[in-house]
C-alpha cells in the first residue's frame, strides 16, 4: 500500500533525477512484479484479458506508475519512460489521457531469450522460421516495443555474450584475417549480423544494443566487487578490437554502422509493423516488407538461393562485412505479377 507521503517521495525523487542530474528518462525495472499481487511468480500470460484485469492487479502500484508517467511527461515531454514488463498488460504503453499506463515503450524481453534458446538447443537445420517470426512480432498493436538481440544478463559476468555463444574459444584464435576462416567463425559472424538485422527490422519500434554486441564482444563485462577481489580486469569495453584492420570484429562493426544508417534513411522503426509474406520452413527463408523495403533472410545452413530478384541495398554477405560476396549487386532485380501469400506481386525463386 502506498501512503500519500510515500507517493510524494517517489515522485519527487523522479523529478530530482531529471532536473538536478539531467536524466532524460527512466527504465522501470521489474514492472510485472509491481502490477500484480502475485508478482508474476508462477504465472503464465497467454494474452487473455482475465489475466490483466481483476482483484489480482495491484491498483496502488498501477496508480503510482500512471502518476509517475503523467508527471514526467507533463513536466518534461522530452523524457522517455520504459517498462520492463513481461506480462503484456494492455494499454500500459499508451498515454494516460487514453486511460493507459503512460509508458512510452515496453522492452521486448522474449526476443533475446529466444535467440539464446535456439542457439543453445537446436541444430541449424532445425530452426523454426514460424517460431522466430512469432517471437519478433508478438506485441500489442500500437504499443511501442524496444527490440534487442542480446540482454545485459548475457553481457555481464555469469553468462556468455551472443558472439561468444556462437563462436566460443575460437574467438581467441581465429578472429584474425591472417588465420583461416573456420566454419565456426564463419557461421558465427554471418548469424550475428542476421540476428541483429532481423531483430532491428521486425522486432519493435526502437532498437537497443547492449555492451559490445555491435562488434561481437568476446567476453563478459564485470565491475569491481567483493566477489572478484575488486578487480578491474573485465571492467572495460574492448573498442580496440574494431580498430584493428587485421581482426574480423571490424566487419561486424561496419555492418552495425550501415544497418543503423539504413534505418535512419528509411525509418522502419517509426513505420507500422512489418508484413511477413514468407516463412518457408524447408528453405529456412523469412521475407517481410516494412517502410517500403523488402527484407529477405536465408537461415539455411548450406543452401543458397540465387534467383531472388530486387535491388540490394544492404547485404550481410558483402565483403566489407566479412561475407562471401555470393550476390551480384549489379544484377537487375524484378518482381512479377504473380500473387503469392495474399500479395499481388512476387519475387521469383
Would you please indicate which residues are annotated as catalytic (active-site) residues? 29, 84
Contact 119, 166 (CB under 8 A): yes
| 225: Cα separation from own chain's centroid | 29
Per-residue DSSP letter, 272: P
Residue 177 and residue 78: Cα distance in Å, rounded?
A: 45
Query: In angstroms, what CA-CA distances link 63 with 17, 118, 276?
Result: 21, 38, 37
Coil vs helix vs strand at 316? coil
Contact 216, 192 (CB under 8 A): yes
Residue 104 and residue 102: Cα distance in Å, rounded?
A: 7
Kindly report the backbone phi and psi dihedral angles of residue 140, in degrees, each rounded to the nearest multiple of 5, phi listed first: -70, 130
The burial of 209, by beta-carbon neighbours within 10 Å (0-12 exposed, 13-18 middle, 19 or more buried), is given as middle
Which of 136, 99, 93 lies closest to 118 in space, CA to CA? 136
Contact 69, 61 (CB under 8 A): no
Coil vs helix vs strand at 321? helix
CB atoms within 10 A of CB 89: 26
| Sheet containing 145-147, strands listed edge to edge, beginning at the edge strand earlier in sequence | 25-28, 80-83, 105-107, 145-147, 206-207
Amino acid at each position: 500500500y502506498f501512503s500519500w507521503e510515500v507517493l510524494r517521495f517517489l515522485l519527487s525523487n523522479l523529478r530530482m533525477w531529471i532536473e538536478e542530474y539531467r536524466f532524460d528518462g527512466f527504465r522501470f525495472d521489474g514492472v510485472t512484479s509491481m502490477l500484480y499481487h502475485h508478482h508474476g511468480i508462477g504465472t503464465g500470460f497467454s494474452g487473455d484479458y482475465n489475466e490483466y484485469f481483476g482483484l489480482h492487479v495491484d491498483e496502488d502500484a498501477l496508480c503510482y506508475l500512471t502518476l509517475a508517467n503523467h508527471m514526467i511527461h507533463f513536466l518534461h515531454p522530452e523524457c522517455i519512460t520504459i517498462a520492463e514488463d513481461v506480462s503484456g498488460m494492455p494499454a500500459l504503453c499508451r498515454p494516460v489521457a487514453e486511460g493507459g499506463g503512460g509508458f512510452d515503450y515496453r522492452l521486448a524481453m522474449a526476443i533475446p531469450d529466444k535467440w539464446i534458446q535456439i542457439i543453445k538447443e537446436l541444430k541449424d537445420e532445425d530452426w523454426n522460421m514460424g517460431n522466430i517470426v512469432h517471437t519478433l512480432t508478438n506485441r500489442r498493436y500500437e504499443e511501442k516495443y524496444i527490440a534487442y538481440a542480446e540482454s545485459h544478463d548475457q553481457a555481464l559476468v555469469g553468462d556468455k555474450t551472443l558472439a561468444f555463444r556462437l563462436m566460443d574459444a575460437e574467438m581467441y584464435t581465429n578472429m584474425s584475417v591472417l588465420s583461416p576462416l573456420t566454419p565456426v567463425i564463419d557461421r558465427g559472424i554471418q548469424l550475428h549480423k542476421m540476428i541483429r538485422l532481423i531483430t532491428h527490422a521486425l522486432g519493435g519500434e526502437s532498437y537497443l544494443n547492449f555492451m559490445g554486441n555491435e562488434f561481437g564482444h568476446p567476453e563478459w563485462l564485470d565491475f569491481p566487487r567483493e566477489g572478484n577481489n575488486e578487480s578491474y580486469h573485465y571492467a572495460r569495453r574492448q573498442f580496440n578490437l574494431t580498430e584493428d584492420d587485421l581482426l574480423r570484429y571490424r566487419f561486424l562493426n561496419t555492418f552495425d554502422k550501415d544497418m543503423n544508417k539504413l534505418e535512419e534513411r528509411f525509418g522502419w522503426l517509426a513505420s507500422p509493423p512489418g508484413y511477413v509474406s514468407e516463412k518457408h520452413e524447408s528453405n529456412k527463408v523469412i521475407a517481410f516488407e516494412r517502410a517500403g523495403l523488402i527484407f529477405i533472410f536465408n537461415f539455411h545452413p548450406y543452401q543458397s538461393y540465387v534467383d531472388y530478384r530486387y535491388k540490394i541495398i544492404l547485404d550481410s554477405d558483402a565483403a566489407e562485412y566479412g561475407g562471401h560476396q555470393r550476390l551480384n549487386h549489379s544484377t537487375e532485380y524484378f518482381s512479377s505479377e504473380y500473387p503469392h501469400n495474399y500479395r499481388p506481386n512476387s519475387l521469383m525463386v
